Every structure is written in C-alpha cells, then in structure tokens.
Amino acid sequence: MTTDTTPAPVLRVRDLAVTFRVDGGRAPDVPAVRGLSFDLAAGEVLAVVGESGSGKSVSTMALLGLLPGTATVTGSARLGDLELIGLDDRALSDVRGRRVAMIFQDPSNALDPVFTIGYQLRETLRRHLPGLSRAEARERAVELLRMVELPDPEQRLKFFPHQLSGGQAQRVMIAMALACDPEVLVADEPTTALDVTVQQEVLDVLRRLRERTSAAVVLITHDMGVVADLADRVVVMRHGEVVETAPVHDLFAAPAAEYTRTLLAAVPRIGTPERPSAADTRERPALNVEHLVVEYKDRRGRVVRAVDDVTLRVQPGEMVALVGESGSGKSTLGRCALGLAPLTSGTVEVVGTRLGRDTPRAVRAARTRIGVVFQNPAASLNPRYTIGESVAEPLRVHAGLRGDALRTRVAELLDAVELPAAWASRYPHELSGGQRQRVSIARAVSLDPDLLIADEPTSALDVSVQATVLELFRSVQQRLRFACLFISHDLAVVDELADRVAVMHRGRLVEVGERSRVLGAPEHDYTRRLLNAAPVPDPAAQAARRSVRLAS
Amino acid sequence: MTRYAVRRAVELVVVFLGVTLVIYLMVFALPGDPIRSLGGDRPLPDNVVAELRARYHLDEPVLQQYLRYLGGLFTGDLGTNFSGQSVASRMESRWPVTITLALTAWGIEVVLGVLLGLFAGLRRGRAGDRLVLAGTILATSIPVFVVAVTAQLVLGVRLGWFPVAGTSEGWPTSYLLPATVIAVFGLASVTRLMRGSVVDTLQSDFVRTLRAKGLRQRQVVGVHVLRNSAIPVLTFLAIDLGFLLGGTVVVEGVFNLPGVGQLLFQAIRAHEGPTVVGVSTALIIIFLLTNLVVDLLSSVLDPRIRHE
C-alpha cells in the first residue's frame, strides 16, 4: 500500500503554509501550518496525527478554501492536474463535494436541523449532477444510505437529524460525502464525538468502504487507536510542521522522531500492573448509594429511568471509576451524590449525611466536604475571575479565610497542582486546557474534601496533557487521601487510576469489582463489548482483534 | 403535544381573565362620572341619573358588574355604551382600517427587517453592518409620535408624496406612511434580532458542511441560513403583530384614520367605560390568538418543536 508502485498520486501537497491575520493586521500574523508536503495515493488511507493546535485540521480546510478570510494560504496542492491553491471560490465549490468531500467531528451539529436527511442528500446530488431526475436522485440517496449500512434507508430519508443517534448521523454524513464518488475523502476526527461502541461501528463502515469506493482517505485524528485501525501511512504534525511521515507499522514499531515517541508513550493502554489500594475499609464509606432509582419525565411526559437500582460504595482513600457510555446514567449518579438530582427511591449517604432525610442545612454543610471537577475546564471556571479568585472562593465562603492567610493557601494549592503561584492573577483564557484543569483540581481540593467527584476530567484534553493531568490527579489523591468517584468513558484512563471499577449500562450497574479483575477478566457481556470496542494503539494487535471480532 | 396544547389553553384563559379584570377596574377608577357627563353642561335630574345607573348596572358592586360583563362575553356580547349603542357594532366599521394598517406595518417589518438583518449579518463588522446597526439605534430612540408628526409634515405636507391624513385614497397610498411610522420601532428590533441570528447560524457546524459539499453561497444563505435564522425572529414577529394592532392608537390619531385605535382613544376621553373595556378585550383576544398561531407556525419551520 505504499506510494512507490503508484505513478501519480491523487493529491500532491507541496510546501503548504497557512498564516492567520490577527487583530486586523495590528498584531503579527500567526503561522498555523508551515512547509507541509505529502502525497496521497489512490485508495490509500493517510492519517494526519497531532494534538490540538498542530495545524492538522487547518491544512485540509485550506485545501478546499474553507478557512475564514483572515487566512493566507501559500504553496501548492494538485488534485490530479488541477491546482487548488489560488483557485477562486466558484471553481473550488465545484471541487468541494464532487472531487474532494469532507466529514466532520460532531455529526449531530453537522447536519442542518430543519431539513430532512433525504433533502440534504438530494441537495448534494442535484448540485453536482444536475442531470439527475427526482426519482434517480432519490434512488441514489437510498443506495448511499444502504452503503453506510443505515437500516430502513427508504424510511430514513424522511427523518430529521435530531431523530438520529450520533452514530447514525455520522453514517449520513459519510453517505453525503460519498454521494458524488469523490477522489478524496477528508475525515476530520470522524469518531471523536462518539461512544466507543458506536465509534467501532463507524470505523467498520469506513473500513468496508475501501472495498466499495476508490476514494483515497485523509484521516485527521488525535486517537492513535483509530490510526492503528484504519491508516496505511501516517503524517505526524506538531506546531504546524511535519515531524515524521511513515507507514503505519513502522511508525508504531519504530517511531523515528522524539515527539512521536512521546506521543505514543502518552497514550493510555490497558494492562497497568497491580498496585496497592489506599482504600480504608474499616471506616464508614464516604459515599454510600443504596438501591438508588432516579426517574424523570421527558418532554412527552414519559417516565425515563436514568438510574435503576444502583448500589455502590466508595471508601475513604479509595478511587472508584464509574464507566459507561453516554446515556448510561453515570453522570446522573454523580449529580445525585452532589444532591443535585432528585432521588426517586433508595438512599444516598455522603460523608455521613443522608440526602433527602437530613435537613437542607446539613446537606449544604456536607457539600462543603465534597469537591467536584468537571469535564470542560473552560466552561466550569468563571471567565471574569482570575484563577486565584476561583481557587480562593470556596476558602473565603466556607473556611472564612481572609487576607494573607487566604493568599498563602491559594499559593500552596496552585503549587500542589504544579502551577506557579504568581499565576494567581491570570484569567482562564490565558491558560491552556491542561492548565485550566489543574486550576479546577486545585479549587476542588481547596477545602480538603472527604469525597471528590470527577466527571470526565480529562476527556477534553490532548493525550500528552491528559497523561500529566492524570499523574497529578493520582498524586494529589494519594497525598490528601480523599475518596474519589471518577466518571469516565475511557477504560484505559480508568485502568491507570482506579482501585475499583463499576460499569454502568442503561441505568443499571452491570459489573463492579477490582480494577484488574474487571478489565482483565470481565464477567459481564457489556464490559467485554466495551473493552473490545476501543481500538488499541498497535496496528498488528488491532488487526488481529478486528479479525477475531468480525469472525465471531 | 396534547399536554402542551392543554397547558397553553389554560394559560390563555388565565391571562385573559387577569387582563380584562385589571382593565375593568382601571376604567372604573377613572375620575369623573360618565352618566353626569352625558348631559354635557346641563345637570341631569337625579331620577334620570338613578334610572340610567340602574339600566347600566352601575349601582352594583364592581366585581358583580365584571362577572355580568364576562357572562355577556361568552354569548358574544362585548357590551353596550352609555348612549345605548352596542360596542361591537361601533367597532365593526373600524376593524378593516386597523387591521389593514397593522398588517401593512407588519409586512414592512417582515420583509425589510429580515432582509436588512440578513444583509447586516452577512457583512458583520463591515461598513454596511455598522450603518444598519446605527440606523436601528436611531429608530428605537425616537418616540412614535415624534416620528409620526415629522413624517406627516415632511413627506405629507412639504413634499406631498403621501396623503396627509384620512383613508380617502385607499390602500396602499393612504396607509403606507402611517404603517411605516408604527413599523419603525419593530423594524429596528427585527433587524437586530435577525442579524444576531444570522451571525450565530453562519458559525454553526452545518453551514461548514454545506460549504464543504460544494453548495454555492446563494443556496447556503437563501435556503439554509435564512430558514434557520428566521425561527427565533418569528416568535418576536408574532408578539409584535398583536402589539401593532393595539399600538395604532397614536398613529390613527395623528393621521386621522378611523380605526379601532382612534375609537379607543375617543372612548377613554369620553369616559365610555364599556367601549374601553370592549375594545381592549377584543385586542387582547387578537393578541393571544396571534401568539398561539405563531407558536404553531414555528413548529412548521422547526421540526425539533414538532417532534417534542
């Protein structure tokens, strides 16, 4: 599958550079991509890998002229014998969707919510193949939906995007991209917003498409598992430049560049050795959930059971991971522990206070003993507060600290999360994602909590940043010895952190046990499915897993 | 959907009862005696006053009068004024004028507001956008009667482009100027709303998808951006239609248009409680119904509401 045998590549990119004009030209231009060159052979899957800000998305958007007016693109990109760079928008729009098609990260927002998917498919066909009759367009739309393995394609044409699940919406996006048989398909993080089992389905669809279309694929991703699963060759980017280009097996087996090695090392993998648990089983549990049921009514008035008869304990010093896909009820359970979701039946006891039975005053007091870290640090920190003020707030409100004592404590806390104390006067937007999450952790532990609830604290972060934040999280937990309920969808992350693992599926707790036991020898079918669905960052192992799974 | 409809209906009844009661009480709190003023400068004999009071039930407690009035409403009776004329018949000839005026104004708001908003949203931050924004601020900061009188003087009297007053020249000539005057305020709001909505829509992921699949700018804007951006604007337009129907009082006065607003204006000055209440009630019903219609209309535009 290497390019040596193919005479002319489908797409030949040379010295592509993108710069952005900032602040109306008053500030110096910001380079986003420099000197990017690669060839894309027919039928090949080329992965472009890198962390956020590496320029991987910008470079492909630049090829199709989809960047805002502030961007300047130079260099060359030849599609067959057509030079794309410098082409006017009208000519480029004939290429887009016809010869080069794209799919994007978040499928539920990538489709127009007020038109049916049938309309949106036919619209693409009509734009590029004006000779098609109404009936032919409809027939082709059905055929496309069948190709991406969407059940009941005729019926689905009448569906609106919100009636589809994320995985289904992404299949529609793929179908739309393939509508006019493009030469190149650009897939920008196609499975990042999806649950692992859904990701697996979409990856399967993409993989099987290679047999059905001749399109070459540019796969933009940060997920090394996805790379190992799909790619033939890999381009690794950092700070807008190519660090390394290699066939996929070579890249994983013997990465040449130092950065590639760091990147691969940062990817969490299942199989962490045994480690002692700090759980204290003699003491009263920090969180004790018994036969909890949470029901709510949806907008049609139907009763939905979000949490169904869940019993779970977290001992002081113990880290319990709550694992499940979106809609499994794991976040609802987390909110219950904070007293933020109404209990239908069952009991929740947090740091010795029973929610629902004890007085609101006691519950409020208990809440000061709980720390919380949310998924998106950009949204959970007040943008108008300095990070010092954010960390100081609980100390001022609950511990009554003022003046020098407060400043000293804030400095200690920032130091504990490995941020310079002088940064207290900075605002969240001046920090990177990882640094912001450190601030969230500092704020969550400021009152020395007995229980910490962390809801997907690292899912919004790049892998290398995630690795350092997880390490920090573990060390802070061991030092302060709080009980922790760690909510996550990523089993590899859980494997690095947790003492015990609880797996949730459709509101029920399907399996609870020691980490090594649950992840090493899962008893429940769903746990096995979750474990098998996540692609492993190793092309050979992933190919073996795929053939085993598809054979069964 | 049925639960939603029932809830909306209950809300409608509660709002209706509340608003009519408030208006009823307010009208009776007005200073002056409507019966005595019927005689003009000549004082009426006491027995005549007493008889008239009894005929119009003015001798009963206010709440009882209100309930009697409500009872009449359910049989389609909007009440009778103190000269013995039915309020409904007095309004009858005036409705066409007011409705024509309000709908013309509304049409101006819809067409111009949506187009100006779209224009400004597409050219965000450029000269055209700033000009439109400055215009909307100017339009909202001048009181309606100032606009009305100025427009009448400049465009009607001085330039003679439009008739100065009255409806003798029919639609659209006689209505265009007064309709523009009452549309100015709403037009500014619609423009700003539409502009913001367009800016938001242009930044959404699906617009990127539409461009990535090769659609021309004309199609992206004309089909997708327009419809998505119009949904939030529609709610405002609905409320505004009701507001326009009731808000014609000043303009009908200035341009001497024989509409319902003018009737209301005259009735308030003449202490004709039943007419004031009757006209207000009719306006409230229209206001509530237009809102209901628009809610149904937005569910046609937005499938996410339809499937709730």
Domains of chain B in sequence order = 1-94+260-308 (no CATH), 101-258 (1.10.3720.10)
Check whether A328 has a pLDDT greater than 60: yes
Tell me what the mean pLDDT of segment B41-61 comes to: 77
Nearest by CB to residue B211, choosing from A96, A98, A109, is A96
Residue B308 distance to chain A (closest CA, Å): 6
Nearest by CB to residue A114, choosing from B3, B212, B301, is B301
Cα angle B216, B218, B223 (rounded to 5 degrees) comes to: 105
| Cis before B43? omega within 30 | no
| Matching residue, tokens 């067409």 | B111
Q: What is the largest CA-CA distance in chain B?
A: 86
Residue A256 counted as domain residue? no
- The burial class, CB within 10 Å (0-12 / 13-18 / 19+), for A506 is middle
Residue A310: strand, helix, or coil: strand
- Touching check for B203 and chain A: CB below 8 Å? no
**Chain-chain contact of A104 with B209 (C-beta, under 8 angstroms):** yes
Residues A175 and A292 in one domain: no
**Chain-chain contact of A96 with B304 (C-beta, under 8 angstroms):** no
- Touching check for B224 and chain A: CB below 8 Å? yes
Using the 3D structure, point to which of A149, A181, A213 is the last residue of a domain: A181
Residue A354: strand, helix, or coil: strand
**Chain-chain contact of B217 with A98 (C-beta, under 8 angstroms):** no
Check whether B4 has a pLDDT greater than 70: no
Check whether B128 has a pLDDT greater than 70: yes
At A2 the pLDDT is 47
At B54 the pLDDT is 77
- Touching check for B213 and chain A: CB below 8 Å? yes
Q: A112 with A49: CB under 8 angstroms?
A: no
> Which residues of chain A does B213 touch, with a Cβ-Cβ cutoff of 8 Å?
96-97, 101-102, 123-124, 127, 176-177, 179
| Nearest C-alpha in A relative to B203 | A68
Confidence label for B237 from pLDDT (cuts 50, 70 and 90): confident
**Chain-chain contact of B217 with A300 (C-beta, under 8 angstroms):** no
Q: Choose from B123, B199, B206, B307 for mutation: most chain A CBs within 10 A.
A: B206
At B131 the pLDDT is 94
CA distance B128 to A272: 61
- Give me the sheet containing A45-49, strands edge to edge: A100-103, A184-188, A216-221, A45-49, A233-238, A241-247
Q: Which residues contact A437 (CB under 8 A, 6 or more apart)?
A: A373, A377, A457, A458, A460, A461, A469
> Which residues of chain B does A94 touch, with a Cβ-Cβ cutoff of 8 Å?
214
Residue A516 distance to chain B (closest CA, Å): 41
**Contacts of A291-297 spanning 24+ positions with Cβ under 8 A:** A291/A345, A291/A346, A291/A347, A292/A333, A292/A336, A292/A343, A292/A345, A292/A346, A292/A347, A292/A348, A293/A343, A293/A344, A293/A345, A293/A346, A294/A329, A294/A332, A294/A333, A294/A336, A294/A341, A294/A342, A294/A343, A294/A344, A295/A344, A296/A342
CATH number where A455 lies: 3.40.50.300
Tell me what the mean pLDDT of segment B50-67 comes to: 78
Residues A486 and A339 in one domain: yes
pLDDT digits (tens, 9 = 90+) for A141-155: 999 999 888 888 999
In this structure, of A27-41, A242-256, A289-303, the range with the lowest mean pLDDT score is A289-303
pLDDT digits (tens, 9 = 90+) for A134-144: 999 999 999 99
Residue A244 counted as domain residue? no
Confidence label for B306 from pLDDT (cuts 50, 70 and 90): low
Residues A439 and A292 in one domain: yes
At A340 the pLDDT is 81
Residue A99 distance to chain B (closest CA, Å): 10
Q: List beta partners, residue A45.
A: A217
Nearest by CB to residue A98, choosing from B205, B214, B307, is B214
Q: Choose from A87, A98, A114, A183 for mutation: most chain B CBs within 10 A.
A: A114
Residue A488: strand, helix, or coil: strand
Using the 3D structure, point to which of A181, A209, A227 is the last residue of a domain: A181
Confidence label for A3 from pLDDT (cuts 50, 70 and 90): very low
| Nearest C-alpha in A relative to B212 | A96
Residue A88 distance to chain B (closest CA, Å): 12
More confident residue, A545 or A279: A545
Check whether B125 has a pLDDT greater than 90: no
Confidence label for B1 from pLDDT (cuts 50, 70 and 90): low
Q: A252 with A49: CB under 8 angstroms?
A: no
At A432 the pLDDT is 82
At A1 the pLDDT is 45
Q: A221 with A228: CB under 8 angstroms?
A: no
Residue A220 distance to chain B (closest CA, Å): 16
Tell me what the mean pLDDT of segment B186-198 comes to: 94
At B32 the pLDDT is 67
- Touching check for B211 and chain A: CB below 8 Å? yes
- Touching check for B301 and chain A: CB below 8 Å? yes
Q: Which residues contact B160 (CB under 8 A, 6 or more apart)?
A: none
Check whether A6 has a pLDDT greater than 60: no
Residue A162 distance to chain B (closest CA, Å): 7
Check whether A57 has a pLDDT greater than 90: no
Buried b / exposed e over A4-26, threshold 16 CB at 10 Å, is eeeeebbbbbeebbbbebeeeee
Q: Which residues contact B269 (CB under 8 A, 6 or more apart)?
A: none
Nearest by CB to residue B212, choosing from A64, A111, A300, is A64
Question: Which of B101, B69, B83 shows the shortest CA–CA distance to B34?
Answer: B83
Please give the model's pTM, rounded to 2 decimal places: 0.79
CA distance A169 to A115: 13
Q: Both tokens of residue B129?
A: 């956008």
**Chain-chain contact of B212 with A111 (C-beta, under 8 angstroms):** no
Which residues of chain A approach chain B closer than 8 Å at the C-beta?
Answer: 64, 66, 89-90, 93-98, 101-102, 104, 106, 109-116, 123-124, 127-128, 160, 162-163, 173, 176-177, 179, 299-301
| Nearest C-alpha in B relative to A158 | B303
Region class of B118: left (phi > 0), else alpha (psi between -120 and 50), else beta = alpha
- Touching check for B199 and chain A: CB below 8 Å? no
ipTM over 0.85: no
Tell me what the mean pLDDT of segment B61-74 comes to: 80
Residue A392 counted as domain residue? yes
At A299 the pLDDT is 65
| Matching residue, tokens 């969550």 | A444
Q: Is the dihedral of CA A17, A18, A23, A24 positive or negative?
A: positive
Confidence label for A162 from pLDDT (cuts 50, 70 and 90): confident
Nearest by CB to residue B224, choosing from A102, A112, A177, is A112
Check whether A435 has a pLDDT greater than 80: yes
Confidence label for A51 from pLDDT (cuts 50, 70 and 90): confident
Residue A241 half-sphere exposure, CB side, CA atoms within 13 Å? 5
Q: What is the DSSP letter of B99?
A: H
Residue A352 counted as domain residue? yes
> Which residues of chain B does A69 touch, with a Cβ-Cβ cutoff of 8 Å?
none
Structurally, chain A folds into a number of domains equal to 2
More confident residue, B274 or A333: A333
Cβ atoms within 10 Å of A499's Cβ, excluding its own: 21
**Chain-chain contact of B206 with A113 (C-beta, under 8 angstroms):** yes
> Which residues of chain B does A84 touch, with a Cβ-Cβ cutoff of 8 Å?
none
Residue B209 distance to chain A (closest CA, Å): 6
Buried b / exposed e over A118-131, threshold 16 CB at 10 Å, is bebbbbbbebbeee
Residues A175 and A294 in one domain: no
Tell me what the mean pLDDT of segment B231-250 comes to: 81
Question: Which of A492, A520, A487 shows the shortest CA–CA distance to A503?
Answer: A487
Residue A471 counted as domain residue? yes
Residue span of the structural domain in which A296 resides: 287-522
**Chain-chain contact of B215 with A97 (C-beta, under 8 angstroms):** yes
Cα angle A8, A12, A15 (rounded to 5 degrees) comes to: 145
> Which residues of chain A does B231 touch, with a Cβ-Cβ cutoff of 8 Å?
114
Average per-residue pLDDT in chain B? 82
Q: A322 with A334: CB under 8 angstroms?
A: yes
Q: List beta partners, residue A455.
A: A487
Q: Both tokens of residue B40?
A: 């003009």
Q: Is the dihedral of CA B107, B108, B112, B117 positive or negative?
A: negative
pLDDT digits (tens, 9 = 90+) for A88-112: 989 999 999 999 999 988 888 899 9
**Chain-chain contact of A109 with B205 (C-beta, under 8 angstroms):** yes
Average per-residue pLDDT in chain A? 88
Residue A186 distance to chain B (closest CA, Å): 10
> Which residues of chain A does B227 touch, with a Cβ-Cβ cutoff of 8 Å?
114
- Touching check for B126 and chain A: CB below 8 Å? no
Q: A49 with A235: CB under 8 angstroms?
A: yes
CA distance A484 to A474: 10
Residue B204 distance to chain A (closest CA, Å): 8
More confident residue, A487 or B77: A487
- Touching check for B215 and chain A: CB below 8 Å? yes
Nearest by CB to residue A114, choosing from B214, B215, B228, is B228
Give me the percent of chain B exceeding a pLDDT of 90.
23
Give me the percent of chain A exceeding a pLDDT of 90.
44
- Touching check for B226 and chain A: CB below 8 Å? no
**Chain-chain contact of A114 with B231 (C-beta, under 8 angstroms):** yes
The two beta strands, A287-297 and A45-49, are unpaired
Tell me what the mean pLDDT of segment A16-28 comes to: 84
**Chain-chain contact of B303 with A128 (C-beta, under 8 angstroms):** no
CA distance A45 to A213: 12
> Which residues of chain B does A109 touch, with a Cβ-Cβ cutoff of 8 Å?
204-206
Q: A410 with A388: CB under 8 angstroms?
A: yes
Residue A537 counted as domain residue? no
- Touching check for B218 and chain A: CB below 8 Å? no
In this structure, of A414-418, A462-466, B70-74, the range with the lowest mean pLDDT score is B70-74
Q: How far apart are the first and last CA of chain A?
A: 27
Residue A239: strand, helix, or coil: coil
Residue B91 distance to chain A (closest CA, Å): 42
Residue A511 counted as domain residue? yes
Residues A334 and A450 in one domain: yes
Residue A91 counted as domain residue? no
Confidence label for A5 from pLDDT (cuts 50, 70 and 90): low
